[in-house]
Amino acid sequence: MEILLLITIVIIAIAFINFKDYLSNPQKRQQFQTTIQDNQIQEEFQEYEDPYKNLSKESKIKKSQYGVMVGLLAKLAQSDGKICELEKELIENTIEDIAQSLTLQSAMNQKEEILEILHSIFQNTTESVEELSQAYADLTKGQYKSRLKLVEYLLALAYADKVLSENEREVILDVAAYLEIENDDFNKMYDAFVEFYSKEDIKQDYKEACKVLGVSEEADLKEIKTKYKALVREYHPDILHHKGLEESIIKTSTAKLQEINAAYEIIEQYKKEMGEK
């Protein structure tokens, strides 16, 4: 379980680092400008470089890419009605990193004040997913990679508790739709997360099944089958009945045998998927 937790943290950390790097690296963001052929589109993009310069610090942050991102994080976190401890910690770390980035990128030298503003955005966001997604789309015209990395990060965060709820899925699908993420790109990301966590779930089930049978995870199927047959003989109700044991003991043993059978099926399926016969 600790290994899975560590893997989850690493995945989310990488997703955010990649996303933050894209936003904070002027060269990457300016590549778009050097490749635009249509002057009208270029002028439109340039208008979005700093359209809020006359606003207050709080309003400026709220309307920035980072501010809108925090709003979307809030919508995602609230969508399933619960926030696990890991998700809470990761969101807090994300907000901390955003505050640090804003402090370094601008003349906003008061990090604590920025943190307070970001927390306020997270806790008090009233805009809908549609409104926030549209705002992010407006701020990232022509920056498809930025949009893609945001959706990837939202997926990573949603899987912090190793389960993607239907409400979380709907939020992410809505964001991807408003940001005009290509179906192929979204499906590749989505399928990668589903496949990874499905494998981890199967592996975790396998570990638990090995504990039930009392065998090593490294044991081959032949060794496991031998142990399984021995346990069946030990707990089979017919054998216990012939020994004249009490019904309460037989009933308990029957339940144990069902657990043993289920565990062996899991192990057998896992070994089959791993190519072992």
pLDDT at 31 over 50: no
Average pLDDT estimate for 140-152? 92
Average pLDDT estimate for 155-172? 87
84-100, pLDDT tens digit by residue? 787 888 889 889 988 88
Distances (CA, A) of 229 to 65, 131, 262, 271: 61, 61, 13, 17
State the pLDDT at residue 22. 53
State the pLDDT at residue 185. 94
Average pLDDT estimate for 147-165? 86
State the pLDDT at residue 54. 65
Residue 127 is given by DSSP the state S
* Domains located in the chain, CATH noted: 57-198 (1.10.3680), 206-238+247-274 (1.10.287.110)
Q: Which of 5-14, 44-53, 56-65, 180-189 has the lowest mean pLDDT?
A: 44-53
Kindly write down the DSSP assignment for every residue of 45-101, as one continuous string.
Answer: HHHTSSTTTTS-HHHHHHTSHHHHHHHHHHHHHHHTS---HHHHHHHHHHHHHHHHH
Would residue 64 be called left, alpha or beta, if left means φ above 0 and alpha means ψ between -120 and 50 degrees? beta
